[in-house]
Amino acid sequence: MAAGDPSLPPEEQCPQLSTTVSSPVIDEEIPGLPEPREEAGPPPPSARPKRKRDLSSDSEDDLAELLEPDPEPVWSVETLSGLRMKLKRRHLSTVRPEHHKVFTRLLEDPEVKKFLAWDKTLRVSDKYLLSMVIAYFSRAGLFSWQYRPIHFFLALYLANDMEEDNQAPKQDIFYFLYGKSYAQRPAFHKLRFQFIRSMGWKIWVSREECEEIQAYNPELWVWARDRTNLT
């Protein structure tokens, strides 16, 4: 039975988010996400004005995120035959500690906690899909303080869009946010497009990276959300 079905008893109905989280309107943009272009294509590089960032206006934490170097590549031995050795470049996640902190902070948001408690069957929020949320946070290029609960739902919707063969369950996110109303869905999809573009269209996340993200803090309670453990 679909979520939000009027035949369900009141306790099974999808809870609603407050308007500050669940009602992104067309004129309200996510901080740090670019506005989609309306023209046919981007201007040539020579026509783009060069802008320099004023670092004096950034906080110390923001500067630390900007100046922290990217991780160095790691190599491991794949095969060894006599004196000949074949190396394999290991995947190294670009997720940094601040992205894990942002995710942990958002898990304490009342509406996010309510949503995770509501998704008892882990249809849209098992541990791998939640790992992808952190990966997307790391790619979006926002400062830690800019992330809000709506980013959590955008990233989780995108993770389901990428990984789940059955696309129906991701509609539960809409039911949770807006009930049966379709009025806010175009605005949500506009924000989703901005979020994808802020990641440079890099939306595929490997299972290896998901497991690496979980291993950073293996005691975090959401990593127990394993579908294989459901009876």
Give the number of other CB atoms < 10 A from CB of residue 183: 9
pLDDT reported for residue 33: 53
Between CA 122 and CA 128 the distance in angstroms is 11
Residues, the chain, total?
231
Q: What 3-state DSSP class applies to 166?
A: coil
The contacts of residue 122 (CB under 8 Å, 6+ apart) are 225, 226, 227, 230
Q: What 3-state DSSP class applies to 74?
A: strand
pLDDT reported for residue 80: 61
Q: What 3-state DSSP class applies to 78?
A: strand
Between CA 31 and CA 20 the distance in angstroms is 14
Residue 168, both tokens = 């129906």
* Torsion-angle region of 32 (φ positive above 0: left; ψ -120 to 50: alpha; else: beta): left
| pLDDT tens by residue, the chain, 231 residues | 444 444 444 444 444 444 334 433 333 455 555 444 444 445 554 444 444 444 444 555 544 444 344 455 555 555 666 666 665 555 556 788 999 999 999 999 999 999 999 999 999 999 999 999 999 999 998 899 999 999 999 999 999 999 988 888 888 999 999 988 899 999 999 999 999 999 999 999 999 999 999 999 999 999 999 998 887
CA dihedral 94→173→176→3, nearest 10 degrees, is: -140
> Would strands 74-81 and 84-90 be described as parallel, antiparallel, or unpaired?
antiparallel
From the list 15, 223, 221, 230, the residue with the least C-alpha distance to 121 is 230
Hunting for tokens 């996110």 — which residue is that? 173
Between CA 107 and CA 207 the distance in angstroms is 22
Residue 108 near residue 226 (C-beta atoms within 8 A):
no
